[in-house]
């Protein structure tokens, strides 16, 4: 199907006759982390509309604030007070305590995010907020306060499926964003252009759809945005604000920051920019043909820039299900990790060494993209080092946990998780029993269909069948699945 | 030595032919097989270019305290600024009448006396940044303080084809660090290789052998993602297997200390001795962020550094490779001249660095820092780090430095 030829129809819903198991697998892998057997069956039974309703509920349940963030917030005035009043070694000690508390709360937040996202019912919404955080980037590299990173994430989740301009306005008041893009240093006499530039270039319009003069004028409208140190609350300082007349996109008035955002969304490029980012994040690392986006953009503008409406149109569309967009997208490290957990019916182990460290080695530190553009994605995820890290992760999931080597904190964290009912952290031998009576070729076919979005090359399939036929040891199936998950094909979704 | 060199290529080929289950030859899947495999079957083993120069970078991560590494013991300011951290004058290993090395650097001192160690004094850059992350980035991308460059200086070295087309398809640059160093980031794709220092020597077991067999055919179109992944992975697997084999079979020509750092350097020596045409290696030693109780920690680190580098140099000499290799240390910043109240030092600016090798012009280079400072003041650099890069690019790696660094820097006479 050459969907590009009829770009208007590209965004029409998939024909009912084309909704089948393969289509359901494709949807589940792209909208979440992977396609588990029971989820595929359920999607087929319920149909595409009901499936998407579940992925994008009208009232999603965001991740609750973590205990450690809450405690950090409560202790913050105290911690800050110590740093302010102490002198000499005591001050260094106070700073060190602050740094350590902040780092610990951030690591815990990352773990909690992963644990939540790993639940199949939460996968789609978690991925959607990850997408938004890849547009509205803030980084823990610069914003060290875990409470502000939390608030930013909470803002993205709260407005994730509402109107985009409302989200953008909320983000402009996100304390983490105010810090990250230096709004807190912007005063009427010397407006800082960082935020205004990224607002146009990376959040709403894209490069080439604004003039330098628009940025300069817009920057004036965002002066006086501040963060209260002790509470982490956003506040507007009127004395710092430039209340004068500004000319932006050819219109003149005493515009506020919110006015500027409305003006930006009135530009034609606003209708196609985010849909383009959406396609880049979910569909293909090659840009869509230029003539396709306007049709999607027009619909979205008519839908008053509702993000949920955009998601429903996009994931239901013929373009999304086109054969050239299936099984050829390189998984992000987060998707690789969480997808593998779901495929193997495992849970996130509450130890950073086995979760956040491998993610970092694969090139993705949560809440810490490399720069303001976010993660590039696609082939940039892959090089010999990150490939080795992906393989190490798989091996780790298949190796029994050597608990005698863990330190006391780890042991405690594991015990707590087990008390809460989480205990499947590595693949046990019992997991392979389901295939024990099957002929080798059926097993291989089943495994490939279950785990791979791309076809298993015939040669590889034959090697695997031979291996299973020759090897009867109990570990043969374990080795086979471990090898399968290290294949290039398993990197694709 | 000759044996090691010639075994690099054919053994890979034998290995692949041996493990191919259906007996298909290498050429059957050669379209995207690593080029060095293919070439070794098509032609005689290409002669590795023995006289190619190699640069080894040693990162001292965390910010090395320059004043207690190369000590200006005769300067009154030194003891004034460091009431508890100043090293006793009698222990200092003299370089001349005013400067000397930390007592833990005995091996480096010997190399200095043999004329193989260049000490470049007071290296830094204008408007210094005191963030670990940012200052490391500045050093690795060779940018100005306020400039953000997307590529690393060694990445641009590779981009400029200065590395030469590797005759054997070996990676142009190898790092033995957990993460890909920013120095290697490049505009074009280069098959650089990383060896995880945590898992050096670990074998993947049955599933790795199985994976290798499954990977041996069906090369897909490399313009598609599936083909790209296959290609990248095959390269990585072959290189990794080769590297592991080289490391396991290596007989070091000198005893190395029992440190992870020395082990990394031994791996570098092994790969060089195997005749790999790689031009750049990157290893890292971390822990230099000595904010408190610095004396002992810093001495241990310098002992690790000195012992490791000396063993490496001795090993290269034993293999007759020392004239091919130059090693350079760097750290994101030096530390504050005035000690803090925790018997440590905070983030500072300029610091000395070492350049080591048989063809290095040994001795002290540049000028010592002035210590006419108040307690909270920092050193003002006298040699720009990019002058050091320029010297090594031009005179050692034979690559026009301006193409890599964006402009001309006056070179230092570091290479004899």
Chain segment A311-344, per-residue pLDDT in tens: 999 999 999 999 999 999 999 999 999 999 999 9
> Distance between CA atoms of A190 and B416, rounded to whole angstroms?
53
Three-state secondary structure call for residue B356: strand
Q: List the single residue in B with minimal CA-CA distance to A453.
A: B226
Selection from A64-68, A398-402, B174-178 with the highest mean pLDDT? A64-68
Structure-block tokens of residue A423: 């205990």
* Domain assignment present for B263: yes
Strand-pair partners of B384:
B124
* Domain assignment present for B247: no
What is the reported pLDDT for B22? 29
Which of A226-240, A253-267, B194-208, B311-325 shows the lowest per-residue confidence on average (mean pLDDT)? B194-208
Count CA atoms closer than 13 A to B233's CA, side-chain side.
Answer: 28
Sequence-distant (6+) residues with CB within 8 A of A73 are A147, A232
* Domain assignment present for B4: no
* Domain assignment present for B19: no
A376 touches chain B (CB under 8 A): no
Structure-block tokens of residue A137: 């980037």
Strand-pair partners of A330:
A492
What is the reported pLDDT for B1? 33
> Distance between CA atoms of B286 and B256, rounded to whole angstroms?
19
Q: Distances in Å between the alpha carbon of A346 and those of A349, A398, A420, A427?
A: 9, 11, 15, 7
Kindly report the nearest CA distance between residue B230 and chain A, in angstroms: 6
* Domain assignment present for B25: no
Residue from the list B217, B236, B292 with its beta carbon closest to the beta carbon of A384: B236
Sequence-distant (6+) residues with CB within 8 A of B352 are B66, B69, B70, B119, B120, B121, B122, B123, B334
CB B311 within 8 A of CB B254: yes
DSSP string for residues in B86-153: PPPGGGSEESSSS-EE-GGGHHHHHHHHTT-EEEEEEEE-SS----HHHHHHHHHHT--TT---SS-H
Residue from the list A391, A392, A454 with its beta carbon closest to the beta carbon of B226: A454
Confidence of residue A403 (pLDDT cuts 50, 70, 90): confident
Average the pLDDT over B115-123 and give the result: 98
Is A382 close to B228, i.e. CB distance below 8 A?
A: yes
Kindly report the nearest CA distance between residue A480 and chain B, in angstroms: 7
State the best of B29, B149, B201, B226 to mutate against chain A, taking most chain A CBs within 10 Å.
B226
Average the pLDDT over B309-323 and give the result: 97
Average the pLDDT over B358-377 and give the result: 94
Please, which residues 63-92 of chain A have a Cβ atom closer than 8 Å to chain B?
Answer: 88-89, 92
Kindly report the nearest CA distance between residue B237 and chain A, in angstroms: 8
Kindly tell me if the per-residue pLDDT of A445 is higher than 70: yes
- Please state the domain count of chain B: 1
Kindly report the nearest CA distance between residue A145 and chain B, in angstroms: 17
- Show residues of chain A in contact with B196, CB under 8 Å: 361, 385, 388-389, 392
Kindly report the nearest CA distance between residue A265 and chain B, in angstroms: 30
The strands making up B93-94's β-sheet, listed across from edge to edge, are B70-71, B100-101, B93-94
* Domain assignment present for B236: no
> Distance between CA atoms of A380 and A362, rounded to whole angstroms?
11
* Domain assignment present for B410: no
Kindly report the nearest CA distance between residue A255 and chain B, in angstroms: 32
Element (H, E) at A236: strand A234-236
Q: Distances in Å between the alpha carbon of A245 and those of A72, A183, B351?
A: 42, 20, 51
Q: List the single residue in B with minimal CA-CA distance to A141.
A: B133
CATH code assigned at B301: 3.40.720.10
Query: How many C-beta neighbours within 10 Å does residue A437 have?
Result: 8
Q: Which carries the bigger pLDDT value, residue A255 or residue B236?
A: A255
CB B128 within 8 A of CB B356: no
A493 touches chain B (CB under 8 A): no
Average the pLDDT over A466-479 and give the result: 85
> Distance between CA atoms of A310 and A162, rounded to whole angstroms?
10
Sequence-distant (6+) residues with CB within 8 A of A176 are A138, A143, A145, A148, A149, A151, A152
Is B179 close to A361, i.e. CB distance below 8 A?
A: yes
Report the relative pairing of strands B383-384 and B117-124 from DSSP bridges: parallel
Among A362, A137, A139, residue whose Cα is nearest residue B133: A139
Confidence of residue B74 (pLDDT cuts 50, 70, 90): very high
Q: Which carries the bigger pLDDT value, residue A361 or residue A77?
A: A77
> Distance between CA atoms of A127 and A493, rounded to whole angstroms?
14
What is the reported pLDDT for B354? 98
Among B279, B410, B322, B284, residue whose Cα is nearest residue B115: B322
Kindly report the nearest CA distance between residue B350 and chain A, in angstroms: 23
Is B214 close to A460, i.e. CB distance below 8 A?
A: yes
CB B375 within 8 A of CB B81: yes
Kindly tell me if the per-residue pLDDT of B97 is higher than 70: yes
Q: List the single residue in B with minimal CA-CA distance to A87.
A: B341
Count CA atoms closer than 13 A to B275's CA, side-chain side.
Answer: 18
Which of A19-33, B185-199, B259-273 shows the lowest per-residue confidence on average (mean pLDDT)? B185-199
What's the CA angle centered on B88, arms B83 and B93, to 5 degrees? 135
φ/ψ (deg, to 5) at B399: -130, 135
Is B210 close to A479, i.e. CB distance below 8 A?
A: yes
Q: List the single residue in B with minimal CA-CA distance to A331.
A: B225
> Distance between CA atoms of B99 and B72, rounded to whole angstroms?
5
What is the reported pLDDT for A433? 83
The packing angle between helices A440-451 and A458-470, to 10°, is: 130
Confidence of residue B205 (pLDDT cuts 50, 70, 90): low
Count CA atoms closer than 13 A to A51's CA, side-chain side.
Answer: 27
Is B235 close to A329, i.e. CB distance below 8 A?
A: no
| pLDDT tens for each residue of A253-291 | 999 999 999 999 999 999 999 999 999 999 998 888 888
Residue from the list B194, B204, B230 with its beta carbon closest to the beta carbon of A384: B194
Sequence-distant (6+) residues with CB within 8 A of A92 are B291, B292, B340, B341, B342
Rg over alpha carbons for chain B, rounded to the nearest Å, is 23
Confidence of residue B163 (pLDDT cuts 50, 70, 90): low
- Show residues of chain A in contact with B236, CB under 8 Å: 384, 387-388
Kindly tell me if the per-residue pLDDT of A426 is higher than 50: yes
CB A161 within 8 A of CB A56: yes
φ/ψ (deg, to 5) at A464: -70, -40
Burial code of A166-198, b = ≥16 C-beta within 10 A, e = fewer? bbbbbbbbbbbbbbbbebbebeeeebbbbbbbb
Q: List the single residue in A with minimal CA-CA distance to B219.
A: A457
| Residues of chain A above pLDDT 90, percent | 74
State the best of A86, A325, A385, A395 to mutate against chain B, taking most chain B CBs within 10 Å.
A385
Please classify residue B121 by burial: count the beta carbons closer than 10 Å to its beta carbon, then call 0-12 exposed, 13-18 middle and 19+ buried.
Answer: buried
What is the reported pLDDT for A6? 67
Kindly report the nearest CA distance between residue A52 and chain B, in angstroms: 27
Three-state secondary structure call for residue B39: helix
What does pTM read for this prediction? Answer: 0.73
Confidence of residue B200 (pLDDT cuts 50, 70, 90): low
* Domain assignment present for B241: no
CB A232 within 8 A of CB A73: yes
> Distance between CA atoms of A194 and A180, rounded to whole angstroms?
9
Query: Which residue has tokens 């907020």?
Result: A129
A454 touches chain B (CB under 8 A): yes
Is B171 close to A384, i.e. CB distance below 8 A?
A: yes
> Distance between CA atoms of A300 and A311, rounded to whole angstroms?
10
What is the reported pLDDT for A370? 81
Residue-number span of the structural domain to which B313 is assigned:
53-209+254-405
- Would you list which residues of chain B are within 8 Å, Cβ to Cβ, of chain A? 21-22, 133, 171, 175, 178-180, 191-194, 196, 199, 204-208, 210-211, 213-218, 220, 224-226, 228-230, 232-233, 235-236, 239-240, 291-292, 340-342
Query: Which residue has tokens 């087990």?
Result: A418
Query: How many beta-carbon pairs below 8 A join chains A and B?
Result: 115
| pLDDT tens for each residue of A89-100 | 898 889 878 988
Sequence-distant (6+) residues with CB within 8 A of A290 are none
- Show residues of chain B in contact with A492, CB under 8 Å: 225-226, 229
């Amino acid at each position: 199907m050459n969907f590009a030829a009829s770009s208007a129809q590209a965004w029409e819903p998939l024909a009912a006759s084309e909704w089948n198991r393969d289509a359901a697998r494709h949807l589940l892998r792209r909208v979440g982390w992977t396609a588990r057997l029971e989820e595929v069956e359920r999607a087929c039974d319920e149909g595409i509309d009901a499936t998407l309703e579940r992925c994008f509920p009208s009232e999603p349940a965001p991740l609750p604030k973590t205990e450690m963030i809450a405690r950090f917030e409560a202790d913050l005035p105290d911690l800050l007070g110590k740093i302010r009043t102490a002198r000499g070694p005591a001050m260094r000690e106070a700073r060190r305590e602050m740094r350590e508390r902040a780092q610990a709360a951030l690591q815990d937040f990352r773990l909690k995010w992963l644990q939540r996202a790993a639940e199949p019912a939460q996968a789609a919404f978690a991925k959607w907020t990850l997408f938004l955080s890849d547009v509205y980037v803030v980084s823990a590299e610069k914003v060290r306060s875990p409470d502000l990173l939390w608030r930013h994430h909470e803002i993205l989740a709260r407005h994730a499926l509402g109107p985009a301009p409302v989200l953008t306005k909320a983000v402009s008041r996100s304390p983490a964003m105010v810090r990250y893009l230096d709004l807190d240093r912007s005063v009427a006499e010397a407006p800082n252009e960082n935020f205004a530039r990224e607002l146009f270039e990376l959040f709403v319009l894209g490069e080439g759809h604004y003039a330098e003069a628009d940025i300069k004028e817009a920057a004036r409208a965002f002066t006086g945005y501040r963060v209260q140190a002790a509470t982490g609350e956003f506040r507007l300082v009127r004395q710092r604000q430039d209340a004068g007349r500004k000319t932006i996109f050819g219109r003149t008035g005493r515009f506020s920051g919110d006015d500027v955002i409305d003006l930006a969304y009135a530009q034609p490029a606003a209708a196609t920019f985010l849909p383009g980012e959406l396609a880049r994040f979910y569909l293909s690392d090659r840009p869509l043909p230029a003539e396709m986006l306007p049709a999607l953009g027009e619909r979205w503008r008519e839908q008053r820039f509702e993000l949920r409406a955009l998601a429903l149109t996009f994931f239901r569309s013929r373009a999304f299900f086109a054969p050239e967009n299936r099984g050829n997208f390189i998984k992000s490290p987060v998707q690789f990790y969480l997808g593998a957990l779901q495929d193997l019916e495992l849970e996130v182990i509450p130890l950073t060494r086995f979760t956040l460290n491998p993610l970092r080695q694969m090139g993705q530190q949560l809440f810490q993209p490399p720069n303001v553009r976010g993660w590039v994605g696609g082939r940039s995820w892959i090089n010999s080092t990150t490939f080795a890290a992906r393989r190490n992760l798989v091996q780790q999931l298949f190796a029994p946990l050597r608990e005698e080597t863990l330190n006391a904190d780890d042991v405690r964290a594991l015990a707590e998780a087990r008390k809460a009912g989480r205990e499947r952290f590595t693949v046990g031998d019992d997991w392979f029993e389901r295939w024990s009576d099957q002929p080798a070729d059926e097993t291989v076919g089943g495994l490939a269909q279950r785990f791979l979005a791309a076809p298993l090359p015939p040669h590889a399939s034959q090697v695997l069948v031979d291996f299973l036929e020759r090897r009867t040891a109990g570990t043969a199936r374990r080795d086979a699945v471990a090898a399968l998950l290290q294949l290039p094909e398993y990197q694709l979704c | 030595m000759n044996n090691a060199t010639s075994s690099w290529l054919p053994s890979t080929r034998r290995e692949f032919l041996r493990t191919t289950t259906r007996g298909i030859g290498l050429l059957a899947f050669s379209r995207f097989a690593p080029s060095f495999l293919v070439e070794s079957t098509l032609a005689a083993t290409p002669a590795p270019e023995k006289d190619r120069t190699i640069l080894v970078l040693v990162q001292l991560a965390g910010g090395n305290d320059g004043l207690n590494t190369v000590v200006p013991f005769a300067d009154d300011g030194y003891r004034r600024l460091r009431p508890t951290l100043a090293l006793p004058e009698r222990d200092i290993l003299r370089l001349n009448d005013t400067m000397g090395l930390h007592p833990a650097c005995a091996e480096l001192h010997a190399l200095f006396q043999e004329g193989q160690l260049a000490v470049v004094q007071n290296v830094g850059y204008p408007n210094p940044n005191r963030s670990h992350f940012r200052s490391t980035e500045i050093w690795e991308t060779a940018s100005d303080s306020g400039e953000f460059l997307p590529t690393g200086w060694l990445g641009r070295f590779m981009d400029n084809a200065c590395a030469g087309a590797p005759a054997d398809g070996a990676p142009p640059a190898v790092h033995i660090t957990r993460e890909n160093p920013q120095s290697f980031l490049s505009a074009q794709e280069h098959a650089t290789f990383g060896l995880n220092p945590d898992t050096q020597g670990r074998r993947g077991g049955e599933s790795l052998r199985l994976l290798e067999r499954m990977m041996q055919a069906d090369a897909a179109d490399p313009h598609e993602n599936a083909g790209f992944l296959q290609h990248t992975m095959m390269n990585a697997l072959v290189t990794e297997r080769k590297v592991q084999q080289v490391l396991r079979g290596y007989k070091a020509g000198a005893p190395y200390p029992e440190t992870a750092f020395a082990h990394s350097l031994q791996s570098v020596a092994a790969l060089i001795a195997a005749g790999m045409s790689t031009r750049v290696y990157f290893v890292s030693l971390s822990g230099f962020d000595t904010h408190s109780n610095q004396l002992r920690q810093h001495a241990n680190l310098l002992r690790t550094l000195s012992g490791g580098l000396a063993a490496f140099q001795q090993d290269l000499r034993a293999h007759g490779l020392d004239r091919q290799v130059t090693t350079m240390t760097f750290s994101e910043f030096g530390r504050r001249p005035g000690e803090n109240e925790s018997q440590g030092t905070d983030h500072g600016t300029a610091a000395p660095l070492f350049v080591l090798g048989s063809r290095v012009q040994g001795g002290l280079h540049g000028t010592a820092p002035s210590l006419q400072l108040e307690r909270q003041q920092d050193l003002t650099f006298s040699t720009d780090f990019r002058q050091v890069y320029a010297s090594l690019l031009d005179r050692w790696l034979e690559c026009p430095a301006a193409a890599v660094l964006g402009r001309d820097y006056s070179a230092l006479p570091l290479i004899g």
